Amino acid sequence: MDKRLIIAIDGYSSCGKSTFAKAIAKELKYIYIDSGAMYRAVTLFCLRKGYIGKGIFSLEAILSDLQNIHIGLIYNPDIVEYETFLNSENVEAEIRGFEVSNFVSRISQIPEVRSRMVEMQRQIGVFKGIVMDGRDIGTVVFPDADIKIFMTASVDIRAKRRYEELKGRNIEVDFEEVKRNIIARDIADENRDISPLRRADDAILLDNSRMSVAGQMEWVRNIIAAKRNGS
């Protein structure tokens, strides 16, 4: 049997990381973990509790309630997708909304939140056979991952993809607002003090601005085969 791998995919917001990671996981019959969904679920929890909001940021309240946040990423065979659960409630739709997107960078800057998420992510990965996407997977969560990919694409293409995705989910948004949110999150992700978004030295760069998912799969199959052949 083939050796089970850990595949880490990092990169900028709305690069198509999750589409790509899901397709790899499906082909290899691996678990797929969307680590961004975990930060989004924590953000939703804090928004609902009123710990964060316009002009509000109560770090003390967030930290004191952190132990009460339980996140599950559960595969739903009916829709052939993973769904995010927050304390047993399916929050998949809500965590993709604009309010969560606007506050998630603040929440993901909190060291205690990050260490809790990283611990959960490592636990999920103990048996390998996993594809995880995020911002710090190849640098912090799995620095020894078998394959590390760092994805990027132009801002306009990413904004267009996110806009189409939200429209597809019947979420009303303005294109320019989507673009502004992506730019703001790039800046926040790259400049935060703890685990900033950066390409690991041994990550392979993938600019998919002009690549289809099929093209990306062809590309990654070669990388997986090379890894398995020991090169």
Residue with Cβ nearer ligand DC (36 or 125): 36
* Residues 178-197 contacting ligand DC, CB under 6 A: 185, 189
Name which of 125 and 134 has its Cβ closer to ligand DC.
134
Q: Which amino acid is at 21?
A: A
Query: Nearest distance from residue 135's CB to ligand DC, in Å?
Result: 4
Binding to ligand DC by residue 104, rule CB under 6 A? yes
Q: Which stretch binds ligand DC (CB under 6 A): 66-74, 131-139, 211-219, 222-230?
A: 131-139
Residue 53, H or E segment: strand 52-53
The CA–CA distances, whole Å, from 170 to 7, 121, 211 equal: 32, 30, 26
Considering the complex, what minimum distance in angstroms separates the CB of residue 108 from ligand DC?
4
Cβ proximity of 129 and 2 under 8 Å? no
Report the alpha-carbon distance of residue 93 to residue 109 in Å, rounded: 23
Q: Is 86 helix (H, G, I), strand (E, B) or coil?
A: strand
Interacting residues toward ligand DC by CB under 6 A:
13, 35-36, 39-40, 104-105, 108, 134-137, 185, 189
